Amino acid sequence: MKRILGDLPGEVGALSMVAFAVAVGFGIVSPVIPLFAQHFGVGATAAGAVISAFAFMRLLSAPAGGRLVDRFGERSVLAVGLVVVAVSSLLAGFAQTYMQLLVLRGVGGVGSAMFTVSAVSLLLRVVRPDQRGRATSMWQGGFLIGGLSGPAIGGVLAGISLRAPFFVYAGTLGAATVVTVMALSGTKLRDRVEQGETVRMQLRTALRLPAYRAALAVNLGTGWAIFGVRSAVIPLFVADALGKSPFWVGMGFFVGSAAQAAALWPAARTVDRIGRKPAMLTGSLVAAAAVVVLAVWESLPVFLLAMAVYGAAAAFLGSAPAATVGDVVHGRGGTVVAVFQMASDLGAVTGPLVAGWLIDGFSFGAAFWTTAAILLLGTAMTLRMPETAPFRTTAPVRS
């Protein structure tokens, strides 16, 4: 582990292990949720609502998660959030009605918001400014590897029982909670050690900073394009526009994930050694180029190439904006981090809805061009921000 971490603190490894455990469990249960919902005799819309309930409650409760972090600290909220998701998932496995399942998944979304906000806040506090890109990339890698592993395990478990994945998910979350309590309880928070007990940055102060606003815009585009449109629209594009089987959907996502994994470390080095601004520009522009290619050329080879480009862009978009937020809040800011996470969640919820409406009323091309425009909004705002990496500039971050 020491060779993998290099000069990064051990807490980064622990948080990455937590991310892996959460992601592998989520990957196990995600493909089963619609099928389990239909087990109660509901239609496709109601089955989809179970997935939306998790995302909606996660988005809605993020500000409260930030306030809890401000009041009780990152480690306590992280552990409680994991327990909330674990218990709600365990009970979901025992659900006897559709409404029980819907409510329990909504509760899980609340716990997920607590976990994400507190984990990112803690990650930004345990590393030096020149380590933030590598730290967030390693954290992102934990999610990526877990997300790749989970669905295959979930498919096997679903063949045994539609309830089994929920129980295994609860188990992986329980393991994540144990790691949190054992490995992070004695964490030394860098801003306390170096600056003393500083006051957390207020949201209204952060919103005055061009760099923070740019990070919000880029994270909105990330949620819209990477977590929303890529997940919801690409399967339809492959089936309807390309006329290919679901096998090629899986191949496209595999190519994208492989490219993202390969680009994680180069992206991290760019963020930490060259700067946050160049990395954010690279991620946004490359992702926009990928969706423009999909809008213009409808062919299988071009699709696979675009998915690889998409994945490489995701590596930059997963680390640079978070490092920027860490810079402007000096590692501290529960509510500020919560709003940053909300931007991505908002994009992930809104993107598929807008893209679906455009596909029904116009074409896949219209959906992809709109996605590119959202990404380019982040590019425009990034161009106006100062570089925030302390090793790149001595000018103040504030405008």
Residue 188 has pLDDT above 60, yes or no: no
pLDDT tens track for 25-59: 887 887 788 778 888 887 766 776 787 788 788 88
Average pLDDT over the chain reads: 83
Q: Which of 332, 312, 230, 269 is nearest to 138 (CA)?
A: 269
Asked if the model's pLDDT at residue 196 lies above 70, the reply is: no
Q: Do 80 and 179 reside in the same domain of the chain?
A: yes
Q: Look at residue 50 and tell me if it is in a domain.
A: yes
Residue that is last in its domain, among 170, 195, 220: 195
Cα(346)–Cα(224) distance, rounded to whole angstroms? 8
Q: What is the CA radius of gyration of the chain?
A: 20
Flag whether 393 is in a domain.
no
Give me the amino acid identity at 268.
Answer: A
The answer to whether the beta carbons of residues 333 and 50 sit under 8 Å apart is: no
Task: Answer yes or no: do 289 and 258 share one domain.
Answer: yes
- How far apart are the two ends of the chain, measured CA to CA in Å? 40
22 and 106 share a domain? yes
Question: How far apart are the C-alpha atoms of 177 and 186, rounded to whole Å?
Answer: 15
Query: Confidence band (pLDDT; 50, 70, 90) for 194?
Result: very low
> With pLDDT > 70 as the criterion, what percentage of the chain qualifies?
90
Q: Is residue 391 part of a domain?
A: no
Lowest mean pLDDT among 251-265, 267-281, 305-319: 251-265
Centre a 10 Å sphere on the Cβ of residue 43 and count the other Cβ atoms it contains. 10
Do the beta carbons of residue 126 and residue 190 sit within 8 Å? Answer: yes
Same domain, 263 and 365: yes
CB-CB neighbours of 344 under 10 Å: 27
The reply to whether 161 and 225 lie within a common domain is: no
Amino acid (1-letter code) at residue 24 = V
Which of 195, 211, 234 represents a domain boundary (last residue)? Answer: 195
Cα dihedral 316, 319, 321, 325 in deg (nearest 10): -160
Lowest-confidence segment of 101-105, 115-119, 294-298, 326-330 by average pLDDT = 326-330
Inform me whether the pLDDT recorded for 227 exceeds 50.
yes
Q: In this structure, is residue 152 part of a structural domain?
A: yes
Helix (H, G, I), strand (E, B) or coil at 341: helix
Q: Are 242 and 180 in the same domain?
A: no
Residue 392 belongs to a domain: no
Q: At what angle do helices 246-269 and 132-160 cross, to 10 degrees?
A: 160
Closest alpha carbon to 30 in 120, 141, 162: 162
The answer to whether residue 189 scores a pLDDT higher than 60 is: no
Name the band, by pLDDT with cuts 50, 70 and 90, for residue 352.
confident
Domain holding 268, by residue range, is 203-383
The answer to whether 129 and 327 have CB atoms below 8 angstroms apart is yes
In a domain, 390, yes or no: no
- 6 and 146 together in one domain: yes
Give the number of domains in the chain. Answer: 2
Is position 325 within any domain? yes
> Is the confidence at residue 288, as pLDDT, over 80?
yes
Tokens 């405008």 belong to 399
Task: Kindly state whether residues 331 and 278 are assigned to the same domain.
Answer: yes
Q: Is the per-residue pLDDT at 147 higher than 80?
A: no
How far CA 226 is from CA of 80, 204, 333, 352, 364, in Å, comes to: 28, 28, 25, 11, 16
Please state which of the ranges 127-131, 196-200, 212-216, 384-388 shows the lowest mean pLDDT. Answer: 196-200
In which residue are the tokens 């990957």 written? 27
Q: Is the pLDDT of residue 198 over 60?
A: no
**What single-letter amino acid sits at 169?**
Y
Residue 178 sits in the same domain as residue 209: no
The verdict on residue 395 lying in a domain is no
| Together in a domain, 221 and 75 | no
Residue 90 has pLDDT above 90, yes or no: yes
CATH number for the domain including 346?
A: 1.20.1250.20
Interatomic CA distance for residues 349 and 334, integer angstroms: 22
**Is there a single domain that holds both residue 221 and residue 347?**
yes
> Is the CB of residue 287 less than 8 Å from the CB of residue 375?
yes
Q: What is the pLDDT of residue 6?
A: 63
Of 195, 215, 236, which closes a domain?
A: 195
Token pair belonging to 28: 């196990």
Q: Is the pLDDT of residue 265 over 50?
A: yes
In a shared domain, residues 186 and 273:
no
